[in-house]
Structure 1
Amino acid sequence: MKYDVVIAGAGPSGIFTALELVKNNSQKKILLVEKGKSIEKRSCPKDKTKECVHCKPYCNITTGFSGAGAFSDGKLSLSSHVGGDLPDLIGYDVVEELIKYTDEIYLKFGADTKVEGVGNSEDVKGIRRKAIEAGLKLVDCPIRHLGTEKAQEIYLKIEQYLISNGVEIRFNTLAKDFIVEDNSIKGLVIANSTNHDTEKEVYAEKVIVCAGRKGAEWLKELCVKHHINHSAGTVDIGVRVEVRNEVMEEVNNILYESKLIGYPLPFKNKVRTFCQNPGGFVSQENYDNDLAVVNGHSYKNLKSSNTNLAILCSHNFSKPFNEPIKYGIKVAELTNMLGNGHIIVQRYGDILEGKRTWQKELNQSNVIPTLSDAVAGDLTSAIPYRTMVNLLNFIEQMNKVVPGFASVETLLYGPEIKFYSNKINIDDKFETNIKGLYCLGDSSGWTRGLMMASLMGVRMAKNILNEKK
């Protein structure tokens, strides 16, 4: 059970670490441990039941080969200014080169050659002028949209490529603990992810953790146990907004995704838009602790009459409380309780009137919810006052950029929470203070999204390859 490299988590950063090593004929003996299923075996029963059945032991939407990326809308953000803080660690020029390199890999595996959000410079200027007037910052970012169904096809090809080239992938296998001796990594303790039994030890010179956002709490616990240096990160709490395509038509056609940032009064906390899906669908994903959170995705071919996007408010804590992940969990638990385990949907106009939304009011609206089993209710009874005020004031600012955005019928789904990991202290080779232990992707706290996580994996592999020289 001895390997050169053991990778915990088959998300984009883990996949691309293995892929780059294989492409360069490294001859490394690689083990990739994944809690979930292979991508061809991942499916959501909701396609048939039309209602979330809370799959056990994990949600297939968030767990399995390629992580949550296989069931996301599959957007590759082609800018070093989007997707986390990695450029601060290794440099913006390095990240720009890695984006180009990694993008070419996606293209070779079948990504669409079209890039959204480029050209139309005069039209973009018009949107930016409106944003400035509204007190918002527009962040330019070219987007390569894979599409939910196409992303699954691309990652399936990568999975088959890795297996055919000698990478050992153990599915339904849980990474439980690190084996650490004398401040050096020796390996992993692994177990069956269904019942957590049959523990085994696997050994390697290098252990690379790629646990994604879903593994944030697990990694935090191991950091404390093994004295891995880390600091409290950020948790983003907000809602998924859904409007008719007609409202977002101009922005959709010019930018595809409008990345807007603001600091609304009176609190001046950072609020931003995220993951815009023209013609998309609002979706639900479940965490292992039975939390139901809202997300959104869009297909290449199947389109709805609506556009959805997240509006998220960033929360950072210091003293006396500095556990943002636990804070986000509590907010999600309260919202889930009020929705009886379902996602809550509420009309913007009802919030302003100080009332909950009823199903009959949704039935009369122009905006028909694309998340069919969302429950009409009252988000303001669960989302903290400071957060809710930030979100509502940001929506008013958005209305100046996109007239009609703050209409009575605009739908708000909750909770949308991004559990970014505590930020792991790593050097520019991604190594922790434990020799031989590396942290990549969203689980490291340094990246957000498919592209940045993928290129971090590429960089990790290049670091390993360069060690021989």
Structure 2
Amino acid sequence: MKKYDVIIVGAGPAGIFAALEITSLKPEAKVLILEKGPDVNKRICPSKERGIPCINCKPCAIVTGWGGAGAVSDGKLTLSTEVGGHLGEYIGEKELNELIKYVDNIYLKFGAPNEVYGIDREEEIREIQKRAILADLRLVPAPIRHLGTGRALEIVAAMKEELLRRGVDIATNTPVAEIIADHGKVKGVQTTSGEYYEGEAVIVAPGREGAEWLLKESLKLGLKTAVNPVDIGVRVELPAVVLEPITKVVYESKFIYYSKTFEDKVRTFCMNPYGEVVQENNDGIITVNGHSHAHKKTENTNFALLVSKTFTHPFKEPIAYGKYIARLANLLGGGVLVQRLGDLMDGRRTTEERLKKGLVRPTLEDATPGDLSLVFPYRHLMALVEMLQALDKIAPGVFNRNTLLYGVEVKFYSSRLELSPVLETKIQNLFAAGDGAGVTRGLIQASASGVLIGRELARRL
């Protein structure tokens, strides 16, 4: 049995930054990081490499592995307290702003580019905001530092080398089965292979893919959780020139809309200028996402359109609900479905022949032409259509018959633990961080949550 000062479950941004902060402040600390997915140099999707359908790798190297889901996603650092999570509710806006600056500087140190989108163009941003208001949309301006998929992997690889140099033990392909606690204090963790690691403190940062596991462990440990909204929607793909007047100013435009029919919140998320649509395997469920690479470009732009739904008593399983919707798409198409907007509005399924007639060439070739109206509940579908119509008013060409819709995109970060201002649970020395704990929704705040815990543990050690 090995003993550590700190055990970190999950090698995403929260886990990595917690380890960096602890070892920076307390170089003598014994730290272990356990990650269920592959090492950074093994994060390869076989289906994409070979041009074949998803072979259901367990775990999926796209959503798990060193660097977390964000390392092989688009890699955007949103330098604003307004978006990216709830961390400000725990520590206050001022401290969060300081943490964001601190974390951003660390990314720069490890190779992030100097360019930041959405600053020094206030007049153009105000004009977009004005047009958005007239379309019943709210633009949330947020400076963006874009890493890009390839560069993001290089950065997290450099962080791993630095942690190894500092003496941190790292074990990839090592899923944790159980958090061990006794008399209100954490004792360690046990892996799926039966290995037990004892730790003075444990940080659980399993990411979105591990949110369901963390919820089950929390219930076993008697921890209280709140139900976050579940975000379900589509990935929209269209010619890059349609959104270029906006993306060249703010890169990723975060628009919020409330549907007229049901007043459901709809938002744009993860906009990828000149990017590509990709699929992910979430524990056997095929969902869709988008990337924008640092070194290669396409002629299309893609973004997520997500409908947020908060469930009330007695329903407490929003993650299960999101997976149910995604499974419907998998059932109908064997994976991700794609439909032309014109076909959706005409009440017919998209076929291979109709897809070829369209002006937008799909960047996700594995998607099956189909009918998304057979997948989404009516109120979700209405909200998505209304949002696309609103976006068309500020970017003519969005609501075009050739625009492609891929489904389903789901964000699995719906369990939110009851935590202290330093993100400690009711169990002493058990901390929770990142998207999987429902605290954050993006790279910057996830990284900041790791720093916050790292500082607290360095103080205690």
TM interval, shorter chain, is: over 0.9
CA contact (8 A) 1:220 1:421 kept: no
- Describe how 1:311-460 pairs up with structure 2 within 5 A: 311-340=305-334, 342-460=335-453
Aligned-residue Cα RMSD (Å) equals: 1.0
The two structures have a TM-score, normalised by structure 2, of 0.98
Aligned to 2:129: 128
Aligned to 1:195: none
1:420, distance to aligned residue in structure 2 (A): 1.0
CA distance in 2, matches of 1:336, 1:55: 12
CA distance in 2, matches of 1:430, 1:120: 36
SS of match in other structure, 1:188: strand
Asked if 1:236 is matched to 2:231, the reply is: yes
CA contact (8 A) 1:344 1:414 kept: yes
Asked if 1:117 is matched to 2:118, the reply is: yes
**Deviations 1:389-448, CA, capped at 9 Å, x for gaps:** 111111111111111100000000000000113110000011101111110001111100
**Deviations 1:156-202, CA, capped at 9 Å, x for gaps:** 100111112100001111110011111211110113xxxxxx30111
SS of match in other structure, 1:47: helix
CA contact (8 A) 1:26 1:465 kept: no
Q: How many residues align?
A: 460
CA distance in 2, matches of 1:48, 1:67: 20
CA distance in 1, matches of 2:20, 2:55: 33
Question: Letter of the aligned partner of 1:330 in structure 2?
Answer: Y
Aligned to 2:88: 87
CA distance in 1, matches of 2:223, 2:196: 20
1:128, distance to aligned residue in structure 2 (A): 0.8
CA distance in 1, matches of 2:376, 2:150: 33
1:364, distance to aligned residue in structure 2 (A): 1.5
Unpaired stretches in structure 1, ≥5 consecutive residues: 192-197
CA distance in 2, matches of 1:415, 1:69: 19
Asked if 1:294 is matched to 2:288, the reply is: yes
CA distance in 2, matches of 1:300, 1:182: 49
Aligned to 1:223: 218
SS of match in other structure, 2:175: strand
The two structures have a TM-score, normalised by structure 1, of 0.96
CA contact (8 A) 2:422 2:456 kept: yes
1:464, distance to aligned residue in structure 2 (A): 1.7
CA contact (8 A) 2:47 2:55 kept: no
CA distance in 2, matches of 1:153, 1:138: 32
- Describe how 1:153-232 pairs up with structure 2 within 5 A: 153-191=154-192, 198-232=193-227
Aligned to 2:144: 143
1:313, distance to aligned residue in structure 2 (A): 0.3
1:285, distance to aligned residue in structure 2 (A): 0.5
CA distance in 2, matches of 1:236, 1:136: 18
Identity of paired residues, percent?
A: 45
Matching residue within 253, 256, 272 for 2:251: 256
1:68, distance to aligned residue in structure 2 (A): 0.7
CA distance in 2, matches of 1:253, 1:41: 34
CA contact (8 A) 2:121 2:249 kept: yes
Question: Letter of the aligned partner of 2:453 in structure 1?
Answer: M
CA distance in 2, matches of 1:265, 1:425: 34
